[in-house]
Copies of this chain bind each other. A is one copy, B any other.
Amino acid sequence: MSESKPARKQQQRSIVTQLKLLDAAIDAFSENGFKGTSTRDIADRAGVHHPLITYHFKNKEQLWRAAADRIFREFNISLVKAMAEVPEIDPRARAATFIRTYVHFAHGQPALHKIILQESSHPTSRLDWLIKNHLRPLFEEVVKSLKELQALGVAPPGDPALLFNMIRVSAGGLLALAVEIKGTSNLDLDSEAALDELSEMIIRCFLPGEMPARH
């Protein structure tokens, strides 16, 4: 089939272009927000001509959604992979693994939290979409485990939704501020050791109780 070969070649190049645009979009949107980034800036970062954005993603809004999808899809893959290695019967170890995974992923991909921050500054249709498609499903699963840990006396008492959000901002929210924290606190959050220290500090503050011995 002599006509299938060039067709595949074109498809491959198309995928590469799309990935370059998505990575550039993630960077630009997390730096300057939706309104603050121009499609020209994204195209320049990706090294492609700006009308290609319309071609591949229709418009700025659809490109934003595709970029958000990419971030959360990769996060979920990391999460599922990490959680698969912890025994179901030890909820504290599972929570600790969740925190460590979240911290390490948010360091490598700070856009995970930055995109949320940018969109949460005021109500938008993009925020509604983000909540419905990515944030709520994750929240509901995690808060279930957190209630369990509170019942066991491992996590401190109080509204579990509040506790979840405190943990979340202490991890991703703190790492999203890395540039500022380096400047004001002289704290370098770029080393593996610093990430471990942050993870352990979060566990120490939010999961202070020991697991009760099983009979």
Q: Which residues of A are in contact with B by a Cβ distance under 8 Å?
A: 30-37, 114, 116-123, 127-128, 130-131, 135-136, 139, 143, 156-159, 161-166, 169-170, 173-174, 176-181, 183-187, 197-198, 200-202, 204-206, 208
- A32 and B31 within 8 A (CB): no
In whole angstroms, how far apart are the Cα atoms of A112 and B31 in the complex? 19
In whole angstroms, how far apart are the Cα atoms of A189 and B204 in the complex? 25
- B179 and A161 within 8 A (CB): no
In whole angstroms, how far apart are the Cα atoms of A130 and B117 in the complex? 19
- B131 and A166 within 8 A (CB): no
- B159 and A197 within 8 A (CB): yes
Question: Which residue on chain B has the smallest CB distance to residue A162?
Answer: B201
- A122 and B165 within 8 A (CB): no
A190 to chain B: closest CB distance in Å? 14
- A169 and B174 within 8 A (CB): yes
- A169 and B177 within 8 A (CB): yes
A155 to chain B: closest CB distance in Å? 9
Q: List 27 A-B contacts (CB under 8 A).
A: A31-B122, A33-B118, A35-B36, A116-B180, A117-B177, A120-B177, A120-B179, A121-B176, A127-B180, A130-B180, A136-B183, A139-B184, A156-B204, A156-B205, A156-B208, A158-B197, A158-B201, A158-B204, A161-B186, A162-B198, A164-B185, A165-B185, A166-B201, A166-B202, A169-B173, A170-B170, A205-B205
In whole angstroms, how far apart are the Cα atoms of A120 and B189 in the complex? 14
Q: CB-CB < 8 A to A166: which residues of B?
A: 170, 174, 201-202, 205
Interface centre among A130, A176, A185 (most CB of B within 10 A): A185
In whole angstroms, how far apart are the Cα atoms of A30 and B117 in the complex? 11
The 10 lowest CB-CB distance pairs between A and B, nearest first, are A36-B36, A35-B36, A120-B180, A161-B185, A131-B183, A135-B184, A169-B173, A173-B173, A31-B122, A169-B169
